[in-house]
Chain A
Amino acid sequence: MSDAPYIPVTPSLTLPRDRVTGALAWISTVDHKKIGIMYLVTSLVFFCLGGIEALLMRIQLAQPNSTFLSPTAFNQVFTMHGTTMIFLFAMPVLVGTANYLAPLMIGASDVAFPRVNALSLWLLVFGGLLLYFSFIAGGAPAAGWFSYAPLSEKAYSLSKGVDYYCVGLIILGIASIFAAINLLVTIIHLRVPGLTIRRVPLFVWMVLVTQILILLAFPALNASLVMLFIDRTLHAHFFIPVSGGSAILWQHFFWAFGHPEVYILILPAFGVISEVIPVFSGKVIYGYEFVAASTVAIGVLSFLVWAHHMFAVGLGHGVDTMFAAGSLLIAVPTGVKIFNWIATMWQGTIRFTTSMLFAVGFLVMFTIGGLSGVSFAAFPIDWQVTDTYYLVAHIHYVLFGGTVFAMFAGVYYWFPKWSGHMLSERLGKWHFWLILVGFNMTFMVQHFLGLMGMTRRVFTYPNLPDWGLLNMISTTGAFLMGIAVAIFIWNVWTSVSGGEPAGDNPWNAWTLEWATTSPPPEHNFDRVPPVRSRRPIWDLEHPENPDWKHGH
């Protein structure tokens, strides 16, 4: 069957436009690849801003009784750090990667609605700018990234900061919902013939489940923000207990969004790892069906565990127990995946490229974060360590050690496809080792600080035994990470045009995005290889032993 015909290319959905060049070509584009790259650049800019905010906090906390930042400035900085990293870095980096890769991986010429795609991007950019405008419009929001009521209400947050938070995030929420609808229609309708849902790359599976979560979780955030905004501007009473409202309702609504959001941020990272590890282990993924099915299980469970963010509220023993059980249950499908990835590496011919190093780093760091997460599900422990640095350590092990490590693995893996040039492996290894050491210095010690009773979101602390030392270690580690990110940016900057030419398929990978040139032409494929299994390029290159003969 090696002479199977190539699949005719579906006609491009974009309208023919006059050739424009320069910045206008980028601003006016509806090409999913250019939009994907603009998502990635936007997320990198906000990653740097959020990182600078983190470093400001670490300078302030490096020594006891420091006066580097005022309490007001500190509150604004930690609020903006969290909000930025979640909504303006992690979401766009994942949506951008999905935007670039999902259509290529399914052999499509673009997303289903290219213009809506451009709308989503620009809503994101301007929503982000609006949020940051608050700094010069009377002060940034300072009530934490989850803006608990009634602190976020007018009586306690007088400046316009929380109003910018509401409107900015509603715009970002609408952008995310549009992007989700677009990607869902694309993945459901535009797969090339033969690419059944059981054959799509696992990255596409993860994107599919993530977009369903976005579709159902973001309305909860938008509804909550609308209510908070109405409270603040029209003097309504949703979340004000003294006039008949309920502060707890805000917590329920916010976490009804907030917990699925955690999986929205990690599932695409799982997808990246599920592409990188098999390729660099020289083996097919172990248990494809289990990785896909456990993702669906995580997606369903993620809507049923929101109140584990609220154990300290006092919802009652029965409620707490139920949510603790649900939260522990999520560890099962997540653990299944970790074993899938380890089993994929087992007896493989592993190539330790920078991408693979980050993927292995992800496995270890994310597992540590997962273990501290399981400890939180036991609510007596949660009562002890909630709102301490133990929590800060946990969230950073899953979101930095998890999502960010996975995204670096993905960038080193797909950068050749995006730019046509390889990233420097030498600089990449410096980047990896510096960030691994810096990350663990910064956040491992925060477990101990939390257990010793250091609460988060305090702008300074007294000179208690070891607190100064541990905080200084944490700050030093944070600056090592800053240097590592600078090396990464330098690597990207110099490799975009000066890196070694990549060729179509530098890693000998198997999925459809590697079946076209690097970077791909505007219509993506001149011809799409026939798809008879999960590894169409393998089948093409190994006609004597294709996967579809083994029923994959």
Chain B
Amino acid sequence: MGTESIQSVEQIAAYDHNKLAMILFIISEGTFFVFLIIAYVYFHSVTKTGPTAANSLDLVKTSIFTVLLLASSFTMWRAEKSLRQGRPNGFRNWLIVTIVLGAAFLYDQGKGYFHLYHDNVTMSRNIFGTTFFTLTGFHGFHVLLGLIALCVLLGLTLAGDFKTSHSSAVETVTLYWHFVDWVWVVIFSVIYLWAFL
């Protein structure tokens, strides 16, 4: 009994509140996206006339930027690994690459929205517009939040933080960044691959 208690004291000290909180938050946000995706799927075959995914979206371009977003998950993993190996410069460089890739994705999304708006494909045009902009818009919003968090990490690094090999903040933001990337895989499959393949 006694030794068991001592062990659990040590285990408690090793627990990371932030990481568990982020995992729970991701579960909750994931559920939120499930409902937006269900709405998109539910109405997928309703639209008979006007803009649809097949006749308004650019598969090739979005595929390229999807690869960039997924690459940012890889670079973030490298960043975290560099920090764990005690190379803060490597961490900083990989972090910058991650931010650039994430920003490129958002730039493409903004440009895509602009073209659609130019062609009068909007929220109110038809149910495709409604579900498409809601789903991708909320994803873009989550990418933006992730980018802000990454920029905060970068600012802290440049200010001389993260001297130790273990950082709860870095691990927590990394989890979130992987989440927004992999949610996009599902959204990309449901919207683009379903329409074009």
A interface with B by C-beta (< 8 Å):
112-113, 177, 180-182, 184-185, 188-190, 193-194, 215-216, 218-220, 222-224, 226-227, 230-231, 234-238, 243-246, 249, 253, 256, 532
A530 to chain B, nearest CB (A): 8
Contact of B109 with A by CB under 8 A: no
Decide if B17 touches A112 in the complex (CB within 8 Å).
Answer: yes
Decide if B35 touches A219 in the complex (CB within 8 Å).
Answer: yes
| Cα A185 to Cα B16 with chains together (Å) | 9
Q: List 23 A-B contacts (CB under 8 A).
A: A113-B21, A181-B28, A182-B21, A185-B21, A185-B24, A189-B15, A193-B5, A193-B6, A193-B12, A194-B5, A215-B24, A219-B34, A223-B32, A226-B134, A235-B123, A236-B130, A236-B134, A244-B43, A244-B46, A244-B126, A245-B127, A249-B42, A253-B35
Contact of B8 with A by CB under 8 A: yes
Which residues on the B side are within 8 Å of A180 (C-beta)? 24, 28
Decide if A184 touches B24 in the complex (CB within 8 Å).
Answer: yes
Decide if A237 touches B127 in the complex (CB within 8 Å).
Answer: yes
The A interface is mostly helix, strand or loop, or mixed, namely helix
Name A238's contact: one of B8, B15, B34, B39 (CB within 8 Å): B39
Decide if B28 touches A216 in the complex (CB within 8 Å).
Answer: yes
Contact of B64 with A by CB under 8 A: no
| Cα A236 to Cα B1 with chains together (Å) | 62
Contact of B29 with A by CB under 8 A: yes
Decide if B126 touches A188 in the complex (CB within 8 Å).
Answer: no
| Cα A316 to Cα B17 with chains together (Å) | 47
Name B130's contact: one of A112, A182, A219, A238 (CB within 8 Å): A238
| Cα A219 to Cα B26 with chains together (Å) | 11
| Cα A185 to Cα B22 with chains together (Å) | 10
The contact size tier of chain B is 20 to 34
Contact of B159 with A by CB under 8 A: no
| Cα A193 to Cα B8 with chains together (Å) | 6
Known: A185-B21, A189-B15. A215 touches B127 (CB 8 A): no
Those of B140-191 within 8 Å (CB) of chain A: none
| Cα A223 to Cα B134 with chains together (Å) | 10
Decide if A216 touches B27 in the complex (CB within 8 Å).
Answer: yes
Decide if B31 touches A220 in the complex (CB within 8 Å).
Answer: yes
Known: A215-B24, A236-B134, A238-B134. 5 other contacts (CB 8 A): A112-B21, A219-B28, A223-B39, A246-B42, A532-B1
Decide if A218 touches B28 in the complex (CB within 8 Å).
Answer: yes
Which residues on the A side are within 8 Å of B6 (C-beta)? 193
Which residues on the B side are within 8 Å of A249 (C-beta)? 39, 42
Contact of B47 with A by CB under 8 A: yes
Name A177's contact: one of B28, B36, B124 (CB within 8 Å): B28
Which residues on the B side are within 8 Å of A243 (C-beta)? 126-127
| Cα A180 to Cα B46 with chains together (Å) | 37
Which residues on the A side are within 8 Å of B34 (C-beta)? 219
Name A223's contact: one of B17, B36, B127 (CB within 8 Å): B36
Decide if A237 touches B130 in the complex (CB within 8 Å).
Answer: yes
Those of B64-95 within 8 Å (CB) of chain A: none
A212 to chain B, nearest CB (A): 9
Interface centre among B6, B28, B138 (most CB of A within 10 A): B28
Contact of B114 with A by CB under 8 A: no
| Cα A238 to Cα B39 with chains together (Å) | 8
Contact of B9 with A by CB under 8 A: yes
Which residue of chain A is the closest to B29 with respect to CB atoms?
A219
Which residues on the A side are within 8 Å of B39 (C-beta)? 223, 227, 238, 249, 253
Contact of B25 with A by CB under 8 A: yes
A149 to chain B, nearest CB (A): 13
Interface centre among A112, A237, A253 (most CB of B within 10 A): A237
| Cα A112 to Cα B22 with chains together (Å) | 13
| Cα A182 to Cα B20 with chains together (Å) | 10
Which residues on the A side are within 8 Å of B28 (C-beta)? 177, 180-181, 215-216, 218-219
Which residues on the A side are within 8 Å of B42 (C-beta)? 246, 249
Which residues on the A side are within 8 Å of B1 (C-beta)? 532
Which residue of chain B is the closest to A196 with respect to CB atoms?
B8
Decide if A222 touches B8 in the complex (CB within 8 Å).
Answer: no
Known: A181-B21, A188-B20, A215-B28. A220 touches B123 (CB 8 A): no
| Cα A256 to Cα B8 with chains together (Å) | 38
Which residues on the B side are within 8 Å of A216 (C-beta)? 27-28, 31
Known: A189-B20, A532-B1. A236 touches B124 (CB 8 A): yes
A141 to chain B, nearest CB (A): 22
Name A236's contact: one of B8, B21, B123 (CB within 8 Å): B123
Known: A223-B36, A244-B43. A189 touches B126 (CB 8 A): no
B175 to chain A, nearest CB (A): 14
Which residue of chain A is the closest to B31 with respect to CB atoms?
A219
Which residue of chain A is the closest to B48 with respect to CB atoms?
A244
| Cα A188 to Cα B21 with chains together (Å) | 11
| Cα A222 to Cα B124 with chains together (Å) | 21
Which residues on the B side are within 8 Å of A222 (C-beta)? 32
Closest A-B pairs by Cβ, 6 of them: A223-B35, A219-B32, A235-B124, A244-B127, A236-B130, A219-B31
Decide if A193 touches B9 in the complex (CB within 8 Å).
Answer: yes
Interface centre among A177, A180, A193 (most CB of B within 10 A): A193
Which residue of chain B is the closest to A188 with respect to CB atoms?
B20
| Cα A189 to Cα B21 with chains together (Å) | 11
Decide if A234 touches B124 in the complex (CB within 8 Å).
Answer: yes
Interface centre among B5, B6, B36 (most CB of A within 10 A): B5
Which residues on the A side are within 8 Å of B43 (C-beta)? 244-246
A170 to chain B, nearest CB (A): 11
Which residues on the B side are within 8 Å of A246 (C-beta)? 42-43
Decide if B21 touches A224 in the complex (CB within 8 Å).
Answer: no
Which residue of chain B is the closest to A189 with respect to CB atoms?
B15
| Cα A394 to Cα B157 with chains together (Å) | 59
| Cα A218 to Cα B28 with chains together (Å) | 8
| Cα A227 to Cα B34 with chains together (Å) | 13
A15 to chain B, nearest CB (A): 15
| Cα A231 to Cα B130 with chains together (Å) | 8
Known: A185-B21, A236-B124. A230 touches B134 (CB 8 A): yes
Which residues on the B side are within 8 Å of A112 (C-beta)? 17, 21
| Cα A235 to Cα B131 with chains together (Å) | 12
Decide if A113 touches B17 in the complex (CB within 8 Å).
Answer: yes
Interface centre among A184, A190, A219 (most CB of B within 10 A): A219
| Cα A181 to Cα B31 with chains together (Å) | 14
| Cα A236 to Cα B133 with chains together (Å) | 10
